[in-house]
Structure 1
Amino acid sequence: MIKIIWIIRALFYKPFFGRFDMISYLGKPIIIFGIKKIYVGKNVRIFPHVRLEAHGENAKITISDDVAIAQNVHITSGANLIIGKASTILANVFITNIDHDYEEIGVHILKQNYVIKDTQIGDNCYIGIGACIQAGTILGNQCIVGANSVVRGKFSDYCVIAGVPAKIIKKYDLERKVWRRTNPDGSYKENI
């Protein structure tokens, strides 16, 4: 029953978004800034207490088909931020493509310019609870991010990433068709 109410809420919100395909749903409460710059694909599940913010003229948030976003997730964008198809984002995650400049001494950081870098989450990624995906992060397809990890950088397809700062700890070996432990640079630790 609750999901039916969330679908009805989505129908109400639909004309205000840049795009909102059905059947997707929105939990309540939700905080949205720059709603016309947010594009939601088909079968997207957005649970309660999510905050979506698109700041500035060039801001855009694209949430692709079949994405699930759990409670208390904060996504903020000042440019192009993309979440790929069939990705899952667990609770208490922060995703951004905005950093605050801090070069001017004596000026409040929030009053300084944004430093914006594209952030992208590939298809079929899994973002663990409490993770932070920082500006400029590019995750390949089917990456797994460990709980409470702080992620910045570019990561290829089929990686398990964990830690503070996050590093690759496993990769899928396409030749051998198994997940293998890696060194922080992504090279395999052991020879099988």
Structure 2
Amino acid sequence: MFFKIFWILRGIIYRPFFGKFKLPSYIGKPVFIGNFKRIFIGKRVRIFPGARIEVIGDNASITFEENISVGQNLHITSGANLIIGKNTTIAEGVMITDIDHDYKDINRHILEQKYILKETKIGENCFIGYGTVIQAGTILGRQCIVGANAVVRGHFPDYSVIVGIPARIIKRYDEESKIWRKTDKKGKFIDER
């Protein structure tokens, strides 16, 4: 618990550089933070050490809403407006981006080709498991659970359990029957017998 005092002090020191940094949030020693002014951190955001948080461009942003816990070694990159919803937990070693690289010109290195930006958003009260990769163009609904090491791209409805490479829905909460039910990979309920 003593080390968190240093993280709070670091947050206070960094606070004027961020677009927003509400207390009592804290941040462990990051690896890199790029474009501080375009990063917005709400109340009670806890970011553990080793984070790489970067915003590319003056019109892009990353928003961490309130009460978010982020494990060690997060890598998050935005070239658009990436949002992490409130009450979300992100485990260790997770990568989140809203940027793809074009690759069509075979005479140019892939990193020299244009960015392809796709809306990416993590809904409220989600859990992102260890080692997950959230790719550009992913929209997670409210209270989605993403299993460890999943590679996620696409739109996923509220209350989905998402696993695998490529990620697919295996279960969703049925609001009518008030139970979690198995689904096919597109998220349609399967009759359980």
Q: Structure 2: which amino acid aligns with 1:27?
A: G
Number of residues paired by the alignment? Answer: 192
TM-superposed deviation, 1:142: 0.1
Q: CA RMSD in A?
A: 0.9
Aligned to 1:147: 148
Aligned to 1:86: 87
Aligned to 1:122: 123
Give distance in 1, aligned partners of 2:7 and 2:64. Answer: 17
Deviations 1:52-91 (A, max 9, x none): 0000122100001000110011000000100000000001
Please say if residues 19 and 36 of structure 2, whose CA atoms lie closer than 8 Å, have aligned partners that are also in contact: yes
1:2-151 to 2 correspondence within 5 Å? 2-151=3-152
Q: Structure 1: which amino acid aligns with 2:129?
A: G
Give distance in 1, aligned partners of 2:43 and 2:67. Answer: 6
Report the 3-state secondary structure (helix = DSSP H, G, I; strand = E; otherwise coil) of the residue aligned with 1:185: coil
TM-superposed deviation, 1:28: 1.1
Give distance in 1, aligned partners of 2:114 and 2:165. Answer: 26
- Unmatched tracts of structure 1, length 5 or more: none
TM-superposed deviation, 1:105: 1.1
Please say if residues 30 and 52 of structure 2, whose CA atoms lie closer than 8 Å, have aligned partners that are also in contact: no
Please, what TM-score do these two structures have when normalized by structure 2?
0.97
1:178 aligns with 2:179: yes
Q: Structure 1: which amino acid aligns with 2:62?
A: I
Report the 3-state secondary structure (helix = DSSP H, G, I; strand = E; otherwise coil) of the residue aligned with 1:169: strand
Give distance in 2, aligned partners of 1:60 and 1:101. Answer: 21
Give distance in 1, aligned partners of 2:107 and 2:131. Answer: 32
Q: Structure 2: which amino acid aligns with 1:139?
A: L
Report the 3-state secondary structure (helix = DSSP H, G, I; strand = E; otherwise coil) of the residue aligned with 1:180: strand
Aligned to 2:190: 189
TM-superposed deviation, 1:191: 4.4
Give distance in 2, aligned partners of 1:9 and 1:191. Answer: 52
- Unmatched tracts of structure 2, length 5 or more: none
Aligned to 1:161: 162
Please, what TM-score do these two structures have when normalized by structure 1?
0.98
Give distance in 2, aligned partners of 1:78 and 1:126. Answer: 23
Q: Structure 2: which amino acid aligns with 1:149?
A: A
Sequence identity (%): 57
TM-superposed deviation, 1:4: 1.1
Please say if residues 182 and 192 of structure 2, whose CA atoms lie closer than 8 Å, have aligned partners that are also in contact: no
Give distance in 1, aligned partners of 2:88 and 2:20. Answer: 18
